[in-house]
Chains A and B, each alone.
Chain A
Amino acid sequence: MRHKTTMNYYLKHILFFCLAILLISCKEQYKLTNSKSGNNEINNELSTNNFLETIILPYRIELDLKMNEVINTSLIDMEVGSPEGLLGNFVCDLIHIKAKEISDKPVDFCLLNNGGLRTPLPKGEITRGKIFELMPFENEIVIVEISGKNMLDLIEYIKIKSVIMNSRKAGVPVSGLRMIINDDKVSDVKIANFAFDANKNYRVVTSDYLANGGDHMDFFLNPISIENTGMKLRDAILAHIINLNHEEIELNATLDGRIYYAE
């Protein structure tokens, strides 16, 4: 029994000692005192990283091969324009066709934005990479049903954009919609070959970006319905161009006065 008491005595002391040590060490701590910040620009004064380059290389070779693949030939130079442009007509026409294929319901017309067509298509060979340049975004094709009242805003929007001069973003590319702009008046609005009816709803194919009010296209907000196709604009463009190539049809587009200034 005596032994046991001694042990208890030791234990108490040992535990006390441990506790004291722990307390002392707890008192010591790292404290944040200061900070300094400066972000670094990544410019061409920096070299690429050799080891990383060895990892990238096989991917880059495969990528270049794919991107440099010629997928068709264009007969003409296509650029955006206002009130209409060859590039806008080309892309809108093909997206309109695609939407009609995808959807079970009719698609009245197509409306996109010139700001989203990022590079002209040159006359001659068209590579896959060129289409990635034209449409680098991952925007998807959506079909929006809007009221006749919102259609009036849409028509007004096209008019305002079409009379802007000297801007790359002037004009609104469309397909399946025609109108005449005379000074400040819009006339002869035709949709899918029928005269526009403000009491009717219309189904418009566009990009999800614009459908969400991008480029201040507020007339797309609060739509009657919206159909997500899940198809990317770029994929649709690529598929169309590759398809034409299979049919041995080269790329072409015309100006047909769909949006027309009457002088």
Chain B
Amino acid sequence: MTEEFTMQNRRKFVKNILIGTAGITTLSSFDILGIARKEKHIKLTILHTNDMHSRIDAFAPNHKKHANQGGISRIASLVEKIRNEEDNVILLDAGDIFQGTPYFNLFGGEVELKLMSQMKYDASTMGNHDFDNGIEGFNNVLHNANFPFLCSNYDFSETILNGKTKSYHIIEKQGIKIGIFGIGIELDGLVDSRLYGKTIYNDPIESANKYAQLLKEKHACNLVICLSHLGYEYEHKTLSDKILVKETKNIDLIIGGHTHTFLDKAVTFYNKVGKPTLVNQAGWAALSLGRVDFYFNREKERIDDLNTSFRPSKNYAKF
């Protein structure tokens, strides 16, 4: 405090501090007592899709493989049911929303984004097919989405998408902070260069590490999710989610896409520092809704051996 500080200012300052303290004290005591909205155990339900490929309606009855299966409209019913059962639901998509049915050819993605907004998607990332009508085509329908597109390694600053996607997004549910970012696939060779224009592709591993650390450390997120359109795995050395896990840290869950991989449930892999990271993917064409439930405990101190508080069964990944 300096000498210029007048008495009057000081009174005001003290008053402010008292009000502030009262506020903090009230909140903190609620925290300590565990009353108010803060619970001892919190369950967070992550629902996710990928590669829906404009599958608004189910496959036709004469389809060889998926007759009468799938469809965004049906997914919406299931999401609604789960929202009624669970307190904390987050709904995410890992890209390739567009292309695959005439809905996209005729309406350019407008229907898909309108439906996803109605379903209260929290975030999505972009897949290679989301560039199919060019950056301009994507930009033209983007206003139909009321959720953010997270693109952490596509740099759109030289394009009309500048400022229209986000590098990361933080959601809070009952005091739990969930940090989400999105990693896209290399466009060169996969998407016509005329379609992605001046988009700059940044290294996915570097970008993933950068944003995961930012979310976990600077923003103190309790959970970090990566929406990835890299693909689950490949025979060759192409970068996949499995490789991404090994090369990164601070990511708890990778929600993947691109390879149209059907998994019964999320698979646990171990990251750069030996910590578990879940990787999940939900097939394609709205034929599957991915689900991962996370359980949080309110704890006074960091407990490293968690087996004492929860007894994990075989299906449970330990964190």
Q: Is the interface of B mostly helix, strand, loop or mixed?
A: mixed
Contact A30 B265 (CB under 8 A): no
A18, A24, A43: residue with the most chain B Cβ atoms closer than 10 Å:
A43
A42 to B71, CA, bound (A): 7
**B residues 101-146 touching A (CB-CB < 8 Å):** 102-103, 105-107, 110-111, 114-115, 118-119, 132
**A residues 55-99 touching B (CB-CB < 8 Å):** 55-56, 59-60, 62-63, 66-67
The answer to whether A33 has its CB under 8 Å from any CB of chain B is: yes
Residues of the A chain whose Cβ atoms lie less than 8 Å from the Cβ of B111: 55-56, 59
- A139 to chain B minimum Cβ distance, whole angstroms, is 11
Residues of the B chain whose Cβ atoms lie less than 8 Å from the Cβ of A193: none
The answer to whether B301 has its CB under 8 Å from any CB of chain A is: yes
Residues of the B chain whose Cβ atoms lie less than 8 Å from the Cβ of A10: 14
| Other-chain residue from B58, B106, B298 in contact with A28 (beta carbon distance below 8 A) | B298
A165 to B68, CA, bound (A): 32
**B residues 173-190 touching A (CB-CB < 8 Å):** 175-176, 189
A33, A38, A48: residue with the most chain B Cβ atoms closer than 10 Å:
A33
The answer to whether B94 has its CB under 8 Å from any CB of chain A is: no
A39 to B266, CA, bound (A): 8
1/0 per position for A6-37, CB-CB distance to B under 8 A? 01101100110110011011011111111111
The answer to whether B227 has its CB under 8 Å from any CB of chain A is: no
Count chain A residues whose beta carbon lies closer than 8 angstroms to a beta carbon of B: 55
The answer to whether A167 has its CB under 8 Å from any CB of chain B is: no
Query: Given A33-B310, A47-B77 in contact, is the A42-B296 Cβ separation under 8 Å?
Result: no
Contact A34 B290 (CB under 8 A): no
CB-based nearest A residue for B69? A43
CB-based nearest B residue for A15? B17
Residues of the B chain whose Cβ atoms lie less than 8 Å from the Cβ of A39: 262-265, 280, 282, 288-291
A83 to B78, CA, bound (A): 48
- A233 to chain B minimum Cβ distance, whole angstroms, is 13
Residues of the B chain whose Cβ atoms lie less than 8 Å from the Cβ of A66: 102, 106
A140 to B195, CA, bound (A): 13
Contact A48 B74 (CB under 8 A): yes
| Other-chain residue from A35, A46, A55 in contact with B295 (beta carbon distance below 8 A) | A35
1/0 per position for A207-220, CB-CB distance to B under 8 A? 00000100000000
Query: Given A14-B21, A39-B288 in contact, is the A30-B73 Cβ separation under 8 Å?
Result: no
Contact A49 B299 (CB under 8 A): no
A51 to B91, CA, bound (A): 18
The answer to whether B159 has its CB under 8 Å from any CB of chain A is: no
The answer to whether B287 has its CB under 8 Å from any CB of chain A is: yes
The answer to whether B157 has its CB under 8 Å from any CB of chain A is: no
Contact A48 B294 (CB under 8 A): no
| Other-chain residue from A27, A44, A52, A140 in contact with B68 (beta carbon distance below 8 A) | A44
Give the contact-size bracket for chain B: 35 or more
Query: Given A21-B28, A32-B222, A34-B294 in contact, is the A7-B80 Cβ separation under 8 Å?
Result: no
Residues of the B chain whose Cβ atoms lie less than 8 Å from the Cβ of A41: 69, 287-288
- A34 to chain B minimum Cβ distance, whole angstroms, is 4
A136 to B103, CA, bound (A): 12
- B252 to chain A minimum Cβ distance, whole angstroms, is 7
The answer to whether B318 has its CB under 8 Å from any CB of chain A is: yes
A15 to B71, CA, bound (A): 58
Contact A37 B31 (CB under 8 A): no
A240 to B119, CA, bound (A): 40
CB-based nearest B residue for A32? B319
A36 to B299, CA, bound (A): 20
Contact B306 A33 (CB under 8 A): yes
CB-based nearest A residue for B194? A230
Residues of the B chain whose Cβ atoms lie less than 8 Å from the Cβ of A247: none
Query: Given A18-B17, A28-B31, A38-B291 in contact, is the A63-B299 Cβ separation under 8 Å?
Result: no
Contact B114 A55 (CB under 8 A): yes
The answer to whether B56 has its CB under 8 Å from any CB of chain A is: yes
User: Can you report 15 residue pairs joining A to B where beta carbons are below 8 Å apart?
Assistant: A10-B14, A14-B18, A21-B21, A25-B24, A25-B32, A27-B301, A28-B300, A32-B296, A39-B262, A39-B280, A42-B69, A49-B80, A51-B76, A56-B56, A136-B100
Task: A37-B317, A49-B77 are known; give 8 further A-B pairs, CB within 8 A.
Answer: A14-B21, A31-B296, A37-B266, A44-B68, A47-B74, A56-B73, A59-B56, A63-B102
A positions within 8 Å CB-CB of B: 3-4, 7-8, 10-11, 14-15, 17-18, 21-22, 24-25, 27-44, 46-49, 51-53, 55-56, 59-60, 62-63, 66-67, 129, 132, 136, 138, 140, 212, 228, 230
- By Cβ-Cβ distance, the 7 closest A-B pairs, closest first, are A49-B76, A37-B266, A37-B265, A48-B73, A34-B295, A30-B296, A25-B28
